[in-house]
Chains A and B, each alone.
Chain A
Amino acid sequence: MDNTVIKIQDAVVSYREDVALQGVSLQVRKGEFIGIVGPNGAGKTTLLTVINGLGKLVHGQAWVLGSRLNGRNSISLRKRIGYVAQVERIDPRLPINVRETVMVGCYGRLGLFRRPTQVQRETVDEVLEMVGISHLSQRPIGHLSGGEYQRAAIARALVQQPEIFLLDEPTASIDQKAQREILSLIQLIHREYHTTTLFVTHDLRMLPSVCQRLILMKDGKIWQQGSPESMLREEVLSQLYGAPVSVPTEIAPFQT
């Protein structure tokens, strides 16, 4: 039985004269946890935007959750895909609190003209509890630390009940303790829900141990891919980054 949830064929994406993706092909099976690694400008984020329909293909095709992306169906597909970007600067005066921000996650599936019911409110409470920020639920979103903000972003994505989880450098720009906690949370979620997950990072120390396949990207192309053990070798990584790179002695351990 074919359990492919993402299939990309010969994808080309360009931003004006810059080609961000050059003929990328990729297939992802249901429940896989894939790490995507590469230097800045390698096309990692662009690859994720192709999957959630925000990146426009100038060539090639993409199938996500059984549907071919055609521009018209991307909004409905995005409702089924959780996306967490890296920490962004938020106006501390923004009139929205953590609970309302997390609730936004269910608005896509809920659709227009429908208000959240007790079911959605209970789901938000459960998810806030799971990611460990229920005590911050009434706090304005702009008052959170980087680590707390990422927990809220992950909670928002979980409320979507996603079939695919896209994580775009979720541990960038936050302190080491918070990085460890976010990685543990991501691993816990994968073990709990087995959601197909694509995890982008340029920091090799930030690769979760649940990662089953590692894709190395460079210059808009998939340069190599394989098991983390086969990819995390000094000569491979040094070639990828164009500079001597030491292999991290351990990838992030699973913590509960």
Chain B
Amino acid sequence: MDLSILQYHFMQNAILAGLLGGITCSLVGVFVVTMHLSFIGVCIAHAAFAGALLGLWLGFNPLIGALLFSLASAAIIGPVADRGELNPDTSIGIIFSLMLGLAFLFMGLMHGARTEALNLFWGSILTVTQQDIIFLAATTGVIVGLVVVFYKEIQAVICHREVALAVGIPATVIFYGLLFSTGVTITASLQSIGGLLIYCLILNPAAAAYQLTYSLKKMLLIAAAFGVISCWAGLVASYLLDIPSGASIVITSAIIFGLATAFSPKRKVKGWQQIPLAG
């Protein structure tokens, strides 16, 4: 394999974006997967996409549009899912379809070539800018920092939300914090991974890690490793096979999930329970 490609600035940026995006997406993926909120994440991802397209249409920074839309959707989805006035699946489905409708509306209203809009669809890790990297690095720093500082509260909320509330943990604030973190992460990764594919990078590495361990700390580390491996292996596949990078990253992450499920020790729960326990 010709490694001279690594000398190019765009490739170095792509590798960096893969590292940062892989870590951040996978960490928030752990929250989403453990809380069984996959559909909420899909909805926030599409809201970010619609917001970015609004930015492109009206001529302001698409990342600002993505951030506003993803945070707004998280702020709407949280209470909708909690209050139970409608079935959460129904209400989140309605918001999801509205976001998708808005995305297509903004795209339809745009004049001229829609190359930039289509890039937001599929993402292009090979064209990320220095500014994108800085935003992604800042997001990664904030998310990792929050996980370290609030680890015990996050563990309580994502594993036993009702219990967390009952023992006096500010569970609602933590829950919304996790939803907003998902929104910010999606926004930061939108440019490199793309609005339609970002969610796979959030879901797949975390879902793969979920198959492999009963420890949340290990799950966070494994998910982050899987996220980075997906990005880097996807980049290599994209380079070697001349295929779109976003697609190859997502397919790699799906293959990792498939392998993790096939070799999951959790598939043998009965066998596990027969193992004599220490203590």
Contacts and interface: CB of A to CB of B under 8 A. Distances in A.
Interface string A64-95: 00000000000111111101010010011111
A100 B154 CA distance: 12
Contact of B169 (A83, A96, A107): A107
A29 to B, nearest CB: 23
Contacts of A96: 155, 159-160, 214, 216
A218 to B, nearest CB: 26
A52 B166 contact: yes
Interface string A93-132: 1111100110111011110110110000000000000000
B260 interface: no
A232 to B, nearest CB: 30
Interface residues of A, number: 45
Interface in B188-242: 210-211, 213-216, 218-219
B167 interface: yes
Interface stretch (A3-11, A133-141, A175-183): A133-141
A76 B165 CA distance: 11
A143 interface: yes
Interface in B67-84: none
Nearest to B216: A95
A151 interface: no
A160 interface: yes
Contacts of A143: 269, 272-273
A75 B150 CA distance: 17
Interface in B158-193: 159-160, 162-170
Contacts, number: 97
B170 A75 contact: yes
Contacts of B166: 52, 54, 78, 81, 83
Contacts of B159: 94-96, 101, 141
Nearest to B163: A104
Quick one: which of B164, B168, B170, B266 has the most chain A CB within 10 A? B168
Contacts of B150: 112
A138 B273 CA distance: 12
A78 B167 contact: yes
A197 B200 CA distance: 48
A153 B167 CA distance: 11
B210 A76 contact: no
B113 interface: no
Contacts of A80: 168
Given A101-B159, A101-B160, A107-B152, A95 B167 contact: no
Given A94-B159, A100-B155, A143-B269, A138 B277 contact: yes
Nearest to B151: A115
Contacts of A97: 214-215
A78 B164 contact: no
Contacts of A221: none
Contacts of B155: 96, 100, 104
A213 interface: no
Given A93-B266, A143-B273, A107 B214 contact: no
5 contacts: A54-B166, A85-B162, A95-B216, A107-B167, A115-B152
Q: Which 10 A-B pairs have the closest CB atoms?
A: A108-B168, A79-B168, A78-B168, A108-B167, A83-B166, A96-B159, A140-B214, A95-B216, A104-B156, A95-B219
Interface of A: 16, 52, 54, 75-81, 83, 85, 88, 91-97, 100-101, 103-105, 107-110, 112-113, 115-116, 134-141, 143, 153, 156, 160
Given A77-B168, A79-B167, A143-B272, 16 more contacts: A75-B168, A83-B166, A83-B167, A95-B34, A95-B213, A95-B216, A96-B159, A101-B163, A104-B156, A104-B163, A105-B167, A107-B152, A112-B150, A113-B149, A136-B277, A143-B273
